[in-house]
Amino acid sequence: MADFVLPLTQDLPPTKVQVLPTTPVLPSTHVLSTAQVQVLPPVQVHVLPPTQILPPAQVQFQPQTHVLPVQISDPFQRDFIGMLQLQHVNYLEMLSTIEEDNFELAPDTMEPHPGLPKDEINEMLADYTNKNVKLLNQQYKVVSHCGVAAYIEDICLITPSEVAVPVNEWGNTHSQLALGRKFQLQHICYGIAHHQGDMYITSENALYKYSLSHKQVCKLYEDQSGAWTVSRCAVSPIWDKLYITNYSHNKLLTLARDGTLLATLTDPELRQPRGLHVTPRGQVLVCGYLSDTILQVDSEGRKKLATLATGRDEVWYPESVCYCSTTSSIIVGHGDDILVFRVE
């Protein structure tokens, strides 16, 4: 990225963001630290209550045949892909819809400030429209946030207490999550992933590898055949593969660590893929934005294993997905709200 039901609700079109012309500004990637997190007074946070619990969606999850060992979210709307650790899921039960002001799902479990009990911190949200990052508790209530003067393109956990946030502008900041290091890139930045000290950043048409010391190591992959050919990225837990979504050509690509193309997946249920994540067990999940789907793909990136959720489950224009181990829930971000599914 650049220097992260009740009755059926009305299907709304995706939020569109008008980009105003500005003078060229080098994109920046910012690292947020939770070392100075403070709890906001309730009056400063507005979160609508969850809707009534709906009946089980009965979405079948096909377990992966080869399980990897566990190791320790479009030009208009952005998403974050979180940390997931799905195992055997018999069905997904819709629990609620949590409404907010145009936030994108940005879930990563963080080590909170000593003033915030660890078991009370659940997820992080990258709020694209409101230009901030939010800490949520296990009831999905906002307990802290940090604002930046730019649209957040993605978010990535890089240490137990830091997240990297790529944006394409920079200005004054405020609020309770402390802003830390900043470094500028020579290209725009949209997607970001991290593995053992290396950052992988997408720039619409290319995938770059950076060190945490801000040095560009190399350009791993490039596709200039159209716009948004390199949208989001993720890394396998044993670091043998990289995955990227090709938004324009409806593809999921699997790369070797050196950027060599290993596999290309297309599927009628994968249209304009966006959010992407690999679970600690190596299971690949991807959002089909225009197909209104959440798919599971095998770790080789060659075939679809299951369609986890569709528009029939209230999944419309999904932009991100994550699994919360503390609540055994799958959370899907799509535009102005998030969907919470129980995993069993």
Question: Rounded mean pLDDT of the chain?
Answer: 68
Is 153 domain-assigned?
A: yes
Per the model's pLDDT, the better-predicted residue between 305 and 108 turns out to be 305
Query: Is the pLDDT reported for residue 178 higher than 60?
Result: no
Under the banding of pLDDT at 50, 70 and 90, the label for residue 151 is confident
Order the strands of the 216-222 sheet from edge to edge.
Answer: 192-195, 198-202, 206-211, 216-222
**Residue 121: what pLDDT?**
54
d(CA 39, CA 135): 9
Q: Which two tokens stand for residue 312?
A: 């029939």
pLDDT score for 290: 95
pLDDT exceeds 80 at position 68: no
pLDDT tens-digit map of 121-142:
567 778 787 888 888 777 777 8
Question: pLDDT-based confidence at 169, cuts 50/70/90?
Answer: low
Given this model, what pLDDT does residue 120 score? 53
Q: State the CATH number of the domain containing residue 219.
A: 2.120.10.30
Range of the structural domain that residue 43 is part of: 28-343
pLDDT in tens, 224-253: 999 899 999 999 988 899 999 999 999 999
Residue 22 belongs to some domain of the structure: no
Residue 145: inside a domain, yes or no?
A: yes
Cβ atoms 285, 309 nearer than 8 A? no
| Predicted local confidence at residue 341, as pLDDT | 76
Q: How confident is the model at residue 214 (pLDDT cuts 50, 70, 90)?
A: confident
Looking at the structure of the chain, the number of domains it has is 1
Residue 18 lies in a domain: no
pLDDT band at 95 (very low <50, low <70, confident <90, very high): very low
pTM, entire model: 0.67
What is the arithmetic mean of pLDDT over 82-111? Answer: 38
For residue 20, being part of any structural domain is answered with no
Residue 287 lies in a domain: yes
More confident residue, 60 or 158: 158
**19 assigned to some structural domain:** no
pLDDT digits (tens, 9 = 90+) for 256-314: 999 999 999 999 999 999 988 887 778 888 999 999 999 989 999 999 999 989 999 88
Residue of 270 and 79 predicted with greater confidence: 270
Q: pLDDT band at 119, cuts 50/70/90? A: low
Give yes or no for residue 5 having a pLDDT over 80.
no
Name the band, by pLDDT with cuts 50, 70 and 90, for residue 40.
very low
pLDDT score, position 22: 45
Mean pLDDT of all residues in 59-68: 33
> Quick one: tokens of 207?
């995938």
pLDDT of residue 72: 21
* Any domain includes 252: yes
